[in-house]
Structure 1
Amino acid sequence: MFSSRRYENAQPQNKSFSSKSQKVRRSSTSFSQEAGVSKRRPESSRRRAGTVSNNQASQSNFDNPSNVSPIVTLVVGQEQRIFAAHEHILSQSPFFQSVLQNKMLDSQTKKISLPDEEPEIFSSVLEYLYKGDYYPRLLHNKKRNSWEIEPTSEEGRVEATIYHHSVDGELLKDTVIYCAAEKYGLEELKRVSLRKQGLQSGIQASTILTSARYAYAHTPDTDSKLRAHYLALIIRSRSTFKRSGTMQLEMLNGGTQLFFDLFVAMCNHVDDISSAASSPRTPRSGRPF
């Protein structure tokens, strides 16, 4: 069970749930030289933070000859950013294992195209495959018995949201990573990303709703955990959402399972409150009133 921050000082629509508007910070590197390789195509001379060369990766990743694995090239996103990873690392994912075993894949080039994926999201997935987590890491506070996101420096900020071309707007990054983990068959990554998004604050109501719709569109009906997270979040912050113009517009448009589930969840919530209020109280003596 993970602990979530409460969204306080709620403001309507374009204001965030937290007056502190603190955001998680971005590392100066996506992942270290022990992880996969990411670089832009030659036509762009500017390399993003977190990229390393193929030579560096081949020298630092597997010094032991018995661990050497073929390099797979991955062309990611509309920008066609190039990533490289070791085949046996990618094979931890049932999705990539199936692709790599496909006889239609060129055994010489070993190139996989992921045009619908966001490079920043795939970078986090690749970091997880190599290191078991993605930045910023999830830490367990033993004293409080709660989960926290590791503290970060002022130099490198990690935004809680990313721009996603499919919605032409901002989405919660951890939600998109969860959906990517669903696609790639990485159950533990789903658990990690679910815990992390429960710790985010300072998120706009419109982003919450857009991310919820994205979650519904990219997870099966049998996977209820991420959906339940959003339903609980909206119910907890209902004072904000009932004043939200975005929420009103979403409800008028309708057309998604999200709003029926939200209706059922809120009915159950009201029933629970009514049931608790009508239950007879027992005095300390053990006798009913």
Structure 2
Amino acid sequence: MFSRRHEPPPSSNKSFSKSHHKASKSSSSFSKQNGVSKSRHEPRRRPTTATSTNDATMSPSSVLTPSIVTLVVGKEQRIFAAHKDVLCASPWFERTMSGMYMDPASNKRIHLPDEEPEIFSSVLEYLYKGDYYPRLVHNKKRNSWEIEQLDEDARGSLESTVYHHSVDGDILKDTIIYCTAEKYGLEELKRVALRKQGLQSGIQCSTILTSARYAYANTPDTDSKLRAHYLALIIRSRSTFKRSGTMQLEIFNGGTQLFFDLFVALCNHVDDISSAQ
């Protein structure tokens, strides 16, 4: 229900893959004391972090409570409701609401037309619970971070990519969440999203490059984590990229800062190998 799926254009079937990680199964349902609905959205079988419905059917009593803020998200104007105090964990929302609550005529409604509802739902889930579905868990025996182990039904409905209207294609969900957290000033959410996307596997080369371009377009030049993650990912899977021809097509379509950084990173990689020899 959150977002329509979009099949990526035909390209190589080559994909970057790494070993899957396992973790203990855990519950990810939401409690009513957080001021949110337990109802699930179809077709994805996943918990939600806020009430989502159409604007025309929103009950007036649910938006007039002083501590509740209504958020209109995406092109389809999906409605979310969240507590003001929860949203204030974000400096961006705190600044936005400071002026809104000083205006008696304000309807306590924030419009976010450029956000994807599914992504914004994950951001709200993090603000209420400290993580988003599927959860990140720590394996004490291996001393490593892993994605929680899901049952068969949940695993079948889980998607690592999300359609984004700005590129008219699929992007790694954790990358979009990282960039959204950058916008809203949620540093810890950025760390969670970065760690999760490092555990993804089986992603097509074309999706990796689309996600990398999106990351460069939506992070500041001073970002040294998400951008470096993509540079290292492309270098590690360089043989797959070489066979697929995807990188060649990307370069022909026009170079960006991404490709200059990749060139520098590859030169440094070669220098390191030469020094070791």
TM-score of the alignment, normalized to the shorter chain, above 0.5: yes
Counterpart Cα distance in 1 of 2:19 and 2:191: 27
Shift in CA distance, 44/70, structure 1 to aligned 2, threshold 3 Å: closer
Output one character per residue of 1:107-127: Cα deviation in whole Å (capped at 9) or x when no partner. 552000000000000000000
Q: Which residue of 2 aligns with 1:96?
A: 93
Aligned pair partner of 1:38 in 42, 48, 51: 51
Matched with 2:152 is 154
1:269-284 counterparts in 2 under 5 A?
A: 269-277=269-277
Give 3-state SS (helix, strand or coil) of 2:79's partner. Answer: strand
Count how many residue pairs are aligned between Structure 1 and Structure 2. Answer: 248
Offset, 1:223: 1.1
Contact 1:174 1:197 in 2 (8 A): yes
CA distance in 2 between counterparts of 1:91 and 1:139 reads 26
Q: Is the 8 A contact 1:37 1:54 kept in 2?
A: no
Distance in 1, matches of 2:192 and 2:74, equals 24
1:169-210 per-position Cα deviation (integer Å, ceiling 9, x unaligned):
000000000000000000000000000000000100000000
Change in CA separation of 1:32 and 1:155 when aligned onto 2, cut-off 3 Å: farther
RMSD: 3.1
Counterpart in the other structure of 2:135: 137
Which residues of structure 2 form unaligned runs of 5+? 1-10, 37-48
CA-to-aligned-CA distance 1:237-285 (integer Å, 9 cap, x gap): 00011122321111112331000000000000000001101xxxxxxxx
CA contact (8 A) 2:55 2:77 kept: no
**Equivalents in 2 of 1:210, 1:235: separation in Å?**
16
Shift, 1:158, TM fit? 1.6
Does the residue aligned with 1:171 lie in a helix, a strand or coil? strand
Q: Which residue of 2 aligns with 1:72?
A: 69
Q: For 1:42-62, what per-residue CA distance to the aligned partner results, in whole angstroms no more than 9, with x for missing partners?
A: 5689xxxxxxx998999xxxx
Cα separation, 2, equivalents of 1:21 and 1:167: 28
Is the contact between residue 30 and residue 124 of structure 1 (CA under 8 Å) also seen in structure 2? no
Q: Distance in 2 between matches of 1:57 and 1:140?
A: 38
Q: Deviations over 1:52-93 (max 9, x none)?
A: x998999xxxxxxxxx96100000000100000000100000
5 Å-filtered alignment, 1:234-245, equals 234-245=234-245
Instruction: Look up the equivalent residue of 1:168 and give its one-letter code.
Output: D
Q: Which residue of 1 aligns with 2:199?
A: 199
3-state SS in 1 of match to 2:193: helix
Taking only the aligned residue pairs, the percentage that are identical comes to 71
- 2:71 and 2:109 in contact (8 A); partners too: yes
Asked if 1:112 corresponds to 2:110, the answer is: yes
Asked whether the 8 Å contact 1:138–1:196 carries over to 2, the reply is yes
Distance 2:119 2:209 in 1: 20
1:13 CA drift (Å): 2.5
Q: Which protein has the bigger helix share?
A: 2
2:46: which partner in 1?
none
In the superposition, the TM-score normalised over structure 1's length comes to: 0.78
Structure number with bigger Rg? 1
Q: Distance in 2 between matches of 1:254 and 1:266?
A: 19
The residue type paired with residue 153 of structure 1 is D
Q: Which runs of structure 1 show a deviation greater than 2 angstroms over 4 or more consecutive aligned residues?
A: 12-22, 27-38, 42-45, 53-58, 103-108
How much does 1:18 deviate? 3.4
Q: 1:98/1:159 Cα in 2 relative to 1: closer, same or farther (>3 Å)?
A: same
Residue identity in the other structure for 1:263: F
Give the SS at the match of 1:133: coil
